[in-house]
Amino acid sequence: MKVLRVRRGAATFYAQLLLEERAVRCLDRTLGVPEVLPLTEVSVLAPVAPSKVVCAQGNFRSRLEEIGRGPGDAPMLFLKPPTAVIGNGQSIMLPRATSRVEAWGELAMILGRGCRNVAPEDVPRHLFGYSCANDVTAGDFLAPGEPLGRAKGFDTFAPIGPWIETAVADPTQLWLRTTVNGAVIQESSTGDMVLSPYALVSFISTIMTLLPGDVILTGSPSGGGRLAPGDEVRVEIDAVGVLINAAKAEEEAAPLQ
Ligand SMILES: O=C(O)C[C@H](/C=C/C(=O)C(=O)O)C(=O)O
């Protein structure tokens, strides 16, 4: 099932996307909105409004090779603020403060139920589903030893979408491809991860409580690509979807709502 987060009037709710009908089915029957609504009657929002976005750095073997490291212990973790999240079709802002913004495609996992100290085999019971994501990074703020908050935390630096796919049978063998203006910059299977998706969620849950709606970005393969105003980035993951965002100079990017 493909799930969108939508707004209609004062109500914000999750809804099943009915692709052929170009409509959505409201998944919360307590709201009093019609069960099925044409897409034209709702505003599609970013598919998540998380308390936190927890990201892994160095979780793909190809990326570790690229930076001259072997698969060591656990990947490094960092957080992106909820204000970095945008949805499919929204613009990635290229901030004036940086001259080097990069796209890094990733598989996102979205929690459905809160958890702490969850075993890898129990992770599926706590998941809402999967999405495509982009770990947008200001590369010129990645000096060794500099905390990642600035490089990773600008508004719009966590595009996620186009929806939450709840029916992914096996997240360990998904093909991921990132393109900029149609040119492939990254291509890999999620089988190249050091910590598999369930193992990564389990590891993170030993450190912090994960809440419903929280997002895990599972790391990016080698590559990554620099963005210029007007570029279109696509993150495609088989069985999940295609996330599309355009890059815009800060002065042209729409303010977040
Ligand atoms: O090196 C960069 O410019 C960005 C790079 C992104 C890495 C990942 O997203 C990853 O390892 O999963 C970095 O932060 O090192």
Every domain of the chain and the residues it spans: 2-44, 53-249
Cα angle vertex 94, ends 231, 43, to 5°? 75
Q: Name residues contacting ligand 1 (CB within 6 A).
A: 56-59, 63, 102, 104, 135, 137, 139, 142, 219-220, 224
| E strands, the chain, in order | 2-8, 11-18, 23-26, 36-38, 43-44, 53-57, 76-80, 85-86, 92-94, 101-103, 105-111, 127-134, 137-138, 158-165, 175-180, 183-189, 215-217, 225-227, 232-237, 241-249
Largest CA distance in the chain: 56
CA dihedral 133, 104, 70, 67 (to 10 degrees): -160
pLDDT confidence of residue 256: 61
Give CA–CA dist 111/123, Å, rounded: 9
Fold of 53-249: Fumarylacetoacetate hydrolase; domain 2 (3.90.850)
Contacts of 232 (CB under 8 A, 6+ apart): 180, 181, 244, 245, 246, 247
Tokens of 59: 């979780």
State in Å: Cα 172 to ligand 1 middle: 20
Q: Residues in the chain with pLDDT < 50?
A: none
pLDDT digits 0-9 by tens, 78-137: 999 999 999 999 999 999 999 999 999 999 999 999 999 999 999 999 999 999 999 999
Sort 135 into a burial class: Cβ within 10 Å, 0-12 / 13-18 / 19+: buried
pLDDT confidence of residue 255: 63
Q: For atom 9 of ligand 1, which residue has the closest CA?
A: 220
Ligand 1: residue of 55, 57, 176 to mutate (most ligand atoms within 8 A of CB) is 57
pLDDT confidence of residue 187: 98
Cα angle vertex 108, ends 102, 111, to 5°? 145
Ligand 1: residue of 220, 226, 227, 233 to mutate (most ligand atoms within 8 A of CB) is 220
Please state whether the predicted TM-score (pTM) of the whole model is above 0.90: yes
Q: For atom 2 of ligand 1, which residue has the closest CA?
A: 139
Tokens of 75: 């990947």
pLDDT confidence of residue 224: 94
pLDDT confidence of residue 182: 98
